[in-house]
Amino acid sequence: MNNVIKQHIYKENKNRKGTKVIRRKKIGVLVAGRINNEVAIGFSLCNNKDEFNRIDGKKVPGHAEKIALTRAKKKIMKGREYPLPHSIRKQYRQFEHRCGLYYKDATII
């Protein structure tokens, strides 16, 4: 894949008024890559019980990005579509718009 861009997905805890962010926690990644004239977006999202980029308590750098890239490649090569979790639909649409601006002459799948 060429010209890969990525964006982390965060879970934000706010104060009672909902005005100030108290804590931000990484929970996933959105990745977009280009093959020929097509752009595919892949995602990786942690389970609520898991920690970001950890397998059995051991830190594995780049694990979430690898999952997201694999999903994006399968989307282009095999036409495989993964169901998008409802919790990240807003971030996905914003990232899709960002990809449309970045990859102007390509088709987003």
The predicted pLDDT at position 49 comes to: 81
CA-only gyration radius of the chain, Å: 15
**Considering only CA atoms, which of 15, 5, 11, 22 is closest in space to residue 87?**
11
Taking phi over 0 as left and psi of -120 to 50 as alpha, with beta for the rest, 5 belongs to beta
Query: Which residue, 106, 108, 28, 14, is CA-closest to 63?
Result: 28
For the segment 24-45, the average pLDDT, to the nearest whole number, is 91
Q: What pLDDT does residue 97 have?
A: 94
Helices H, strands E: what count in the chain? 2, 6
Q: What mean pLDDT is reported for the chain?
A: 90
Which pLDDT does position 40 carry in this prediction? 92
List pLDDT tens digits, range 39-84: 999 999 998 888 888 888 888 899 999 999 999 999 888 888 888 9
